[in-house]
Chain A
Amino acid sequence: MVSSSHAICVKGLYVAIVSGTAETSSDHEEELQPGVDLLGEIEESFFYAEDFYIPTSDGSESRLFITESYDPTSHFESASDDVLRIYESIMGEPLDLTVLPEPTDE
């Protein structure tokens, strides 16, 4: 949930997103109920279900690199991993994120 303190809506309103992976093939909206139940009274809600896509190849031949769809986690752990995967497919080696010490003035 985020609110006006992050300047994403007017003061007095709060925006909560409940998300998950569908585990049944029927009523998806009902599957979110354990999360929705935590929210208390809801002014208005918008529900949608969508397909989750993954690329069929790593793009090394076609040089077309496709990311996976965003998954329903509310953080970017998996999205970051996907970016690192694409970096390695493009460059042929993993991204080195070691932080080097700042050079000091002599």
Chain B
Amino acid sequence: MGLWEKKRCRNFFIYIAEMDFDDEGTWKGIDVNSQPMSDVFKKFKLEDNTIDFIGHAVALFNNDQYLDEPASDCIKKIQLYMDSIGRYGDHPFLYPIYGLGGIPEGFTRFCAIHGGTYMLNQDIDEVVFDASGKVEGVKAGDKIAKAPLVICDPSYVKNLSGMMQTTKKLMRKICILSHPIPNTGANDSCQIIIPQKQTGR
């Protein structure tokens, strides 16, 4: 970012930090509840690359629709990012020790504390329905666990036709490195977001 763009960006972030949705004075002439976010970017005369960075790497939007939508949503996401920095370190993210498996582990512990039963490593053969099409429970082998409702991820219902549709394909590449990612300050962990425009595609 050039020096002048840095100044404009700094003014933008100060505006966001001081934004109070209950105090119209802080809106500085923009109706943040109805005007699109692109109007806010125009007010601060930010360059396209800066907007790309803010929208995708700070507000964490997956596409550019937010530019045409009311600014309040995007502003709240940027405020969340800014508020999260410094709470547990000079970055806004939390990552569990021992990996993401810690998250479902935490939920199952919470479930057990509240009297829930959980089964580990148990495949489900099918979801059981009654005659009217309402779920009755799940079946594993010849055992059925009955329930008034069932919540599951797509892998449990792949054999039931019509339950899901596929809208796109995803790709993942897990890479083992013997060094931290170059040019990231040799940190032990990092998140890199590449907005589509930056790939020239």
A19's contact among B148, B167, B172, by CB below 8 Å, is which? Answer: B172
Instruction: Kindly provide the distance from the CB of A79 to the nearest chain B CB, expressed in whole angstroms.
Output: 10
Minimum C-beta distance from A16 to chain B (A):
5
Greatest chain A CB density within 10 A among B93, B181, B189 is at: B189
Given known A16-B175, A66-B157, contact A2–B167 (CB-CB < 8 A): no
Interface residues of chain A: helix, strand, loop or mixed (majority): mixed
List the A side residues contacting B129 at CB < 8 Å.
62, 64
Q: Chain A 51-67, CB within 8 Å of chain B: the 1/0 string?
A: 11111110101111111
Q: Across the interface, which residues of A come within 8 angstroms of B151, CB to CB?
A: 65-67, 86, 90
List the A side residues contacting B170 at CB < 8 Å: 19-22, 49-52, 69, 71-72
Q: Which chain A residues lie closer than 8 Å to B162 at the CB level? A: 56
Query: Does the CB pair B176–A15 fall under 8 Å?
Result: yes
B173 to chain A, nearest CB (A): 5
Give the interface SS of chain B, mostly helix, strand, loop or mixed.
Answer: loop
Q: Are A54 and B60 in contact (CB under 8 A)?
A: no
| Binary CB contact string for chain B from 139 to 166 against chain A (1 if under 8 A, 0 otherwise) | 0000000001111111001000011111
Given contacts A38-B182, A45-B175, A66-B164, contact A75 B62 (CB under 8 A): no
Q: Is B106 in contact with chain A by the CB < 8 A criterion?
A: no
Contact, CB under 8 Å: A66 / B152: yes
* 29 A–B pairs (Cβ distance < 8 Å), ordered by A: A5-B189, A12-B178, A14-B181, A17-B175, A18-B172, A20-B171, A21-B169, A22-B170, A32-B171, A35-B192, A40-B177, A41-B179, A47-B173, A48-B172, A49-B171, A50-B172, A52-B167, A56-B164, A62-B134, A63-B135, A64-B157, A65-B150, A66-B157, A66-B163, A67-B152, A68-B154, A69-B154, A74-B191, A90-B151
Residues of A within 8 A of B (CB): 1-9, 12-23, 28-29, 31-32, 34-36, 38-57, 59, 61-69, 71-75, 77-78, 86, 90
